[in-house]
Each structure stands twice: as C-alpha cells, then as structure tokens.
C-alpha cells in the first residue's frame, strides 16, 4: 500500500527538513503550491484526501488544520506543541515505555514531542518509573539549542548577522512559563513543576541538556552508577537512543551538542562525583532530528507499518 502523505507547513524549518528526510520514494509526499498554502479550501481538500497528514505549523494553525479534517480515515502527526497534553492524542516518543511504539502505530492522532522534552523525558521517566527519582524532586533543567530552534525566521535573522553579532549565547524563558514545561512534567512522571532554563547558542543545530541531582535528596540506595544501570537497561534495545558508558577511570569531561546532527539519534550520559554526592544527567540530540523532523519520520514509519499490515 503506497500511502499518501500531506505535509501542511512544508516551508518551515521542520517541514523542509522533513521533506529532505523523506526523499527516496518510500511515501507519496504532497505539498501545496506556493500560491495555495494559505488557501483554506485547498488545505481542507488536501488534508481530507491524504492517508496521514503531518502538521509543521504554529500552534494555532495546527489546531485549525485538525478542525478542518472530517475524513475519519485521515491520521495526523502534529509537530507543533498544540496537542502535546491533549486527551485523545498519543505522545510520539516511541521510547517512552515498552508499549509506546504500539500505541503510536495504531493511533489516529500523534503529537510529536518537543525537542527539549524529548531529552528531559528520556532521562527522567525511567528513573521515576523505577522509584530512583522522587516525583517531587526539585529539578532544575538547563538546555542549549542551536539557533535553528527559533524557527525559520529566527534562523534567517541569525544567519543575516545581526543576532549573531549581538549574542553568542542567549538565555530565555526566564519568566518560567515555557510551553514545554507542562509536557515535560506530564510525561516524565513528575508531581512538581521543574525549573526549565533554555538557551540558544551561536551554532545552527543540536541540543545539550543537563539535569543536576544531589544524592542526599535521593533514596538512600541510589547512586550515579545505579541511575546509569537503570537508563542502560531501559534503552538496551532502542534503535535511536544510546546510553554512553560510565567509567570512574575515564570520566566524561565534555559534551558536544552537535554530535548527532543530521540523524535521529540521541545519547544519554551520567556523570557523578562520589565525594561531593553530585550527579549530572545529560542528553544530546539534533533539535531538527530526534527533536523534530526525525521523530516525525520515526512515528510515520510506525503508523505506516500498521496501515500496511491491515490493508
């Protein structure tokens, strides 16, 4: 069965990257001509004529697109943040738990995770599930993304030179109301809102996210090594998540946020200092890959395999 895929919002950062990743004839990809992208009738027709719609739109436009769909056979992957905690939508992180891939494969509505929550949830959810991290732990999460995380307009402004000259690193979200926090709290298994401090660096793409933990605030038998073992076991068979080795003899000393650029991969790591009782969890991924278009392709393939098996 040759599935018909419609990309709504194909000229944004995620939409363009998605098309690059889908080249090769695996699916029939449809987009609207330039003059019809904002034509409501044309969008409605395209949305209702496809097998799977991928929405690479701002939140409000994504909600409007979903409202346009009246064909019950159309399935949706929403790459915006509009539906990430909405009832009836399946969270598109296949590695969330052992059955999430099955849920995505059979879902009518899939919401792509945010780039930052992908990293934070991957680190935290196994620990809360295992009881190694209290759900009410006072978390502070730091993350730096490449400037492409600002979207196409922001990336173009940076590359034009004005913003690059003004900022080599720009911390934002200091009102502590970042839209990703509700998603992160819900899917990481937290009962208390974490502090989340994001930033943009002067490189194009890639994320490094870190979370500091104090051993004195964890259950008595929890150590950095035990946390590492928990993560390694959870992702032992994951195709796109790798837990880096942990060795006291050769401790990790640095992280490169760009190491997974162009891929759908993510690496997780644990650093600890037994003397100080401090532990740092870290994740590295491509904000345009596992954090956006790469994740959409991963979810699309899961949904397509289910469609083909029932055709």
241 and 279 belong to one structural domain:
yes
23 and 58 belong to one structural domain:
yes
Q: Is 230 a catalytic residue?
A: no
Which of the residues in the chain have pLDDT under 50? Answer: none
Using alpha carbons only, how large is the chain's radius of gyration in Å? 20
- Residues 47, 69 contacting (CB under 8 angstroms): yes
Using DSSP bridges, classify how beta strands 52-55 and 75-78 pair: parallel, antiparallel or unpaired. parallel
For residues 249 and 78, give the distance between their C-alpha atoms in angstroms, rounded to a whole number: 44
Instruction: Give me the domain span that covers residue 272.
Output: 115-287
Query: What are the C-alpha distances in Å from 137 to residues 189, 208, 268?
Result: 11, 21, 20
134 and 281 belong to one structural domain:
yes
Specify the CATH number for the domain of residue 276: 3.30.360.10
153 and 204 belong to one structural domain:
yes
* Active-site residue identified among 50, 56, 115, 272: 115
169 and 46 belong to one structural domain:
no
Q: What is the pLDDT at residue 156?
A: 67
177 and 29 belong to one structural domain:
no
pLDDT tens, residue by residue, 18-40: 999 998 878 999 999 988 888 89
226 and 153 belong to one structural domain:
yes
Specify the CATH number for the domain of residue 106: 3.40.50.720
92 and 133 belong to one structural domain:
no
Q: What is the pLDDT at residue 166?
A: 57
At 168, is the secondary structure helix, strand, or coil?
A: coil
147 and 47 belong to one structural domain:
no
Query: What are the C-alpha distances in Å from 217 to residues 137, 145, 212, 220?
Result: 8, 29, 11, 9
52 and 177 belong to one structural domain:
no
Q: Residue 177: phi, psi to the nearest 5?
A: -130, 30
103 and 192 belong to one structural domain:
no
**What sign does the CA torsion over 183, 188, 194, 195 have?**
negative
Number of folded domains that form the chain: 2
Q: What is the pLDDT at residue 4?
A: 95
134 and 271 belong to one structural domain:
yes
pLDDT tens, residue by residue, 201-210: 999 999 999 9
């Amino acid at each position: 069965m040759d599935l018909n895929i419609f990309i709504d919002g194909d000229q944004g950062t995620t939409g363009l990257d998605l098309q690059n990743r889908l080249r090769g004839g695996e699916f029939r990809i449809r987009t609207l001509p330039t003059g019809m992208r904002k034509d409501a009738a044309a969008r409605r027709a395209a949305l209702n004529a496809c097998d799977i719609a991928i929405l690479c739109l701002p939140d409000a436009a994504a909600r409007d697109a979903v409202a346009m769909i009246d064909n019950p056979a159309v399935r949706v992957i929403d790459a915006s943040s509009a539906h990430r905690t909405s009832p009836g939508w399946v969270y598109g992180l296949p590695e969330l738990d052992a059955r999430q891939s099955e849920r995505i494969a059979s879902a009518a509505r899939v919401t792509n995770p945010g780039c930052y929550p992908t990293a934070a949830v991957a680190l935290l959810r196994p620990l809360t599930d295992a009881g190694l991290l209290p759900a009410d732990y006072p978390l502070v999460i730091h993350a730096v993304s490449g400037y492409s995380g600002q979207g196409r307009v922001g990336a173009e402004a940076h590359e034009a030179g004005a913003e690059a000259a003004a900022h080599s690193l720009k911390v934002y979200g200091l009102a502590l109301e970042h839209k990703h926090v509700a998603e992160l709290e819900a899917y990481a298994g937290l009962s208390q809102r974490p502090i989340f401090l994001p930033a943009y660096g002067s490189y194009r793409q890639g994320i490094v996210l870190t979370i500091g933990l104090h051993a004195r605030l964890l259950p008595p038998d929890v150590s950095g090594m035990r946390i590492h073992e928990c993560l390694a076991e959870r992702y032992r068979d994951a195709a796109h998540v790798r837990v880096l080795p942990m060795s006291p003899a050769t401790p990790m000393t640095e992280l490169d946020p760009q190491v997974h650029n162009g891929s759908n991969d993510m690496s997780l790591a644990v650093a600890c200092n037994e003397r100080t009782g401090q532990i740092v969890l870290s994740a590295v991924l491509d904000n345009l890959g596992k954090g956006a278009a790469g994740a959409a392709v991963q979810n699309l393939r899961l949904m397509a395999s289910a469609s083909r098996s029932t055709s």
